[in-house]
Amino acid sequence: MSWGTRSMMTRRFILATSAVGLATWLGSSSSVLAPAEPFAVTHTDEEWRKLLKPDQYAVLRQSATERPFSSPLLNEHCPGVFACAGCDHGVFSSETKFESGTGWPSFWAPLNEQVIGTTRDTAFGMIRVEVHCSRCGGHLGHVFNDGPKVTGLRYCMNRVAMTFNPATT
């Protein structure tokens, strides 16, 4: 199945189930529809431009999406923690990473519910749930509800928005 087909199916699925599935899940998050929440780590736009590499800035601060399969580290299989590239805040563990076949690193759960925030994203005519770092607000990716059985969620992340810290044990 091509990504395009999958994306369309995902979109229809989300539209059809938004009233129950995602809405229920999002009900626990106070950040829905409120992207301007205060973050512990803040910088001016100019500072972010200096702190981040251009591709990191495009994703984290401008909500761009990296090209699928563009990351040489996509098949990172070592145990460890993926952290926000903007503030080094741990967001995902290798333990919840799975092969989605989409070309983006995918996880079925974040490290915990506090490390990320979500907002409703209606860009490009799609209704999606945007995922960002709860510490600096950097855009990380989107979450869809067509993930594996464990949680049923698929956190579709941009590899460039995260750094990988291998476990030391």
**Do 87 and 136 form a contact (C-beta atoms < 8 A)?**
yes
In the complex with Zn ion, the residue whose CB is nearer, 128 or 135, is 135
DSSP string, 53-109: -HHHHHHHTT---PPTT--TTTT--SSEEEEETTT--EEEEGGGEE--SSSS-EESS
Please choose, out of 12-20, 48-56, 87-95, 98-106, the segment that lies near Zn ion by the rule CB under 5 A: 87-95
Residue 130, helix vs strand vs coil: strand
For residues 106 and 97, what is the distance between their CA atoms, to the nearest angstrom?
6
Q: Any contact of residue 22 with Zn ion (CB under 5 A)?
A: no
To the nearest whole angstrom, how small is the minimum distance from the Cβ of residue 101 to Zn ion?
A: 27
Query: What single-letter amino acid sits at 106?
Result: S
Tell me if 135 contacts Zn ion by CB under 5 A.
yes
User: How many residues in total does the chain contain?
Assistant: 169
Q: Which of 89/142 has CB closer to Zn ion?
A: 89
Residue 129 interacts with Zn ion (CB under 5 A): yes or no = no
CA distance 86 to 133: 9
156 has catalytic annotation: yes
The answer to the question of residue 86 lying near Zn ion (CB under 5 A) is yes
Q: Can residue 133 be called a binding residue for Zn ion (CB under 5 A)?
A: yes
- Using CB under 5 A as the binding rule, whether residue 83 contacts Zn ion is answered as no
Question: Would you count residue 90 as binding Zn ion (CB under 5 A)?
Answer: no
Nearest residue (CB) to Zn ion, 18 versus 163 = 163
Sole binder of Zn ion in the list 84, 129, 153, 162 (CB under 5 A): 84
Cβ pair 101, 152 in contact under 8 A: no
Which of 22, 52, 131, 136 is the binder for Zn ion (CB under 5 A)?
Answer: 136
Helix (H, G, I), strand (E, B) or coil at 131: strand
* Chain residues that interact with Zn ion, rule: CB under 5 A: 84, 86-87, 89, 133, 135-136, 138
Q: Which residues are catalytic, by number?
A: 156
